[in-house]
Amino acid sequence: MTKKNQTREQASRFDLNSVRREWDVASNAYADAQERGLDYYRLNCFGPAMVDACGNVEGLEVLDLGCGIGYFSRQMAEKGATKVIGVDISPNQLVHARRLEEQERLGIEYIEGDAASVIYNLPEASFDLVTACVSLVDMPDPGRVIRGAHRVLQDRGRFVFTNTHPVTDTKTREWVRDADGNKIGLEIGDYFDESPIVFNWISERYKYPFQTTGNSYTLQSWMRWVINAGFVIEDFIEPNATDEAIAEWPGLDDTRIAPTFLIVVGRRDGRVKPQVD
């Protein structure tokens, strides 16, 4: 039940079936907004930073977890990755991914299933790069997925993910505004409440409103999963939008007041052993 001061709903259900169902319902609106170029946080904030964080991907074999309609998988293939496999739990998201692959063949293979299971059925040490673009936050067991990413990476391979920022994407959050209504700060609360959260996707960008449920782990939990899995953290990025992007999409001013996304770059290093739980 939502506490009195909470501005966001707590989830009543968060498991593989509910996640699959929610993303199946969301899929047409999500794909439509992406294809019409309205996903402005991606286009002007975390998207370019996530691509940069992956560095030169020419000749690499890439596994993209929670690939959705394949936006990021396609970027990896377009930038020269020789093999890209996308994994997603939502059949409807993959209908769009495969339709886009039909329209323009990049040789991407899509696998339907829970990333936390699929990743343990793939051969060990078989990828150069594992990515998760705003998707770990939608998964019920991200710690298991992160350990799986370490397992399927070759030595010196990298794991790069972006998520909504756990410090600001909290159950209680309220913009502080000046007398003219401009945002000047963000109040957050319930940071340490790690129960799942409901995201309401209500915006003129989406042709119908939808809800998805995601996890709500602290920054400490995320970083411990990455470190305990055996990754050496090579970079940590809090992307924000440029003045030009904010002039075009004023809603992006959020990203300059408080961090909206984070990007973590971890490297598998054979000398560092994973911590056993």
Contact residues: ligand SAM, CB under 6 A: 19, 23, 66-68, 71-72, 87-90, 93, 114-116, 133-135, 138-139
Q: How far is the CB of 23 from ligand SAM (least distance, A)?
A: 3
**Are 90 and 23 contacting, i.e. CB atoms less than 8 angstroms apart?**
yes
Q: Specify which residues 64 forms β-bridges with.
A: 86, 131
**Structure token pair of residue 191:** 């940071």
- In angstroms, rounded to a whole number, what is the distance separating the alpha carbons of residues 153 and 126? 6
Spatial CA neighbour of 89 closest among 61, 65, 123, 62: 65
**Structure token pair of residue 242:** 């440029």
| Nearer to ligand SAM (CB atom), residue 46 or residue 272 | 46
Q: How far is the CB of 210 from ligand SAM (least distance, A)?
A: 11
**In the complex, which residue's CB is closest to ligand SAM?**
68
| Nearer to ligand SAM (CB atom), residue 70 or residue 259 | 70
Could you give the dihedral angle defined by the CA atoms of residues 37, 41, 47 and 49, in that order, rounded to the nearest 10 degrees? 150
**Are 79 and 57 contacting, i.e. CB atoms less than 8 angstroms apart?**
yes
| Nearer to ligand SAM (CB atom), residue 86 or residue 157 | 86
Q: How far is the CB of 39 from ligand SAM (least distance, A)?
A: 8
| Nearer to ligand SAM (CB atom), residue 144 or residue 267 | 144
Tokens 């904030």 found at: 45
Q: How far is the CB of 128 from ligand SAM (least distance, A)?
A: 19
Q: How far is the CB of 45 from ligand SAM (least distance, A)?
A: 13
| Nearer to ligand SAM (CB atom), residue 118 or residue 177 | 118
How do 109-112 and 210-214 pair as beta strands?
A: unpaired
